[in-house]
Amino acid sequence: MERYRLQHKPKARIKLSDWDPDETGAYDGGKEEAKEELNRLTEELSVLQELLFAEQKHKLLVILQGMDTSGKDGVIQHVFEGVNPQGVRIASFKVPTPLELSHDYLWRVHQQVPGKGEIVIFNRSHYEDVLVVRVHKLVSKGIWSKRYQQINEFERTLHDEGTTILKFFLHISFDEQKERLQARLDDPQKHWKFNVNDLKERKLWPDYVRAYEEALGRTSTEWAPWYVIPANRKWYRNLLIGKILVKALKNLDMEYPKLQEDPSTIVIE
């Protein structure tokens, strides 16, 4: 049985050890059949994205979080490969600039949220301010512990203004991360992906697990739910996210705008 959406329990804590990163749910078709289904989903996603852009009523924010090598870039590449770039934008949040640091931590985030008709994908996000900031003790607990409620209120505002928010935690195992890092070392064409700092972050794995467990539990809300995506199997990760995206867009019950004029009266010479 597939189990990936967190229940909405305010201030709840979860244990990631209860969630199997190797899970493939009830899917029995195998990797190749999954790829065929994903192709169908990406085609459907492309149509729905065009409809979203044409209607200009709704907004979709997709948030991707996970440990290093969990597959954020892979999701963007494979799930969104058929969409029109005109209506989709990717925002990556790296080390804050001096200008960004001179404002509150949500300032740079708010500037990147989607407008009407737009899909925006956050490759990492404002959650770094309760993850990296916490693990590396960049600010005191008294500061970062208040941010869960601030984030909930921020996302509630976006939701109330018409934004559908989907948050995906790409859940991989410690051993899987090792294999993926090694694969980057073994393949010269992937050396550009390897960063020696990833090894330093890997040593902090237990600290990141605790930080993620609290963040996921305290910020999965009715208006902005977290999905724990089993991500050891890349094909299943992509398939599951594709299904969730398509379902969410269908639920918006969108329609193409109608011409104000009667098409039968228009003559193109």
Residue 246 lies in a domain: yes
Which of the four pLDDT bands, split at 50, 70 and 90, describes residue 165? very high
Residue 241 lies in a domain: yes
Residue 6 lies in a domain: no
Q: How far apart are CA 228 and CA 244, in angstroms?
A: 12
Residue 11 lies in a domain: no
pLDDT of 84? 87
Residue 265 lies in a domain: no
Higher pLDDT, residue 29 or 91 = 91
pLDDT reading at 1 higher than 60: no
Number of folded domains that form the chain: 1
Mean pLDDT of the chain: 92
- Least confidently predicted of 25-39, 176-190, 202-216: 25-39
Provide the whole-model pTM. 0.93
Tell me what the mean pLDDT of segment 203-214 comes to: 97
What percent of the chain has a predicted confidence (pLDDT) above 90? 79
Residue 72 lies in a domain: yes
- Sheet of 88-92: strand order equals 88-92, 119-123, 59-66, 163-171, 226-230
Residue 111 lies in a domain: yes
Structure confidence by residue, pLDDT tens digits, 132-145: 999 999 999 999 99
Greatest alpha-carbon pair distance for the chain in Å reads 70
Return the closest-CA partner of residue 132 out of 76, 193, 178, 198: 198
Beta bridge partners of 63: 122, 167
pLDDT reading at 106 higher than 80: yes
Q: How far apart are CA 30 and CA 11, in angstroms?
A: 37
CATH number of residue 48's parent domain:
3.40.50.300
Residue 264 lies in a domain: no
Domain containing 219 equals 16-252
Tell me what the mean pLDDT of segment 14-33 comes to: 84
Tell me what the mean pLDDT of segment 215-242 comes to: 95
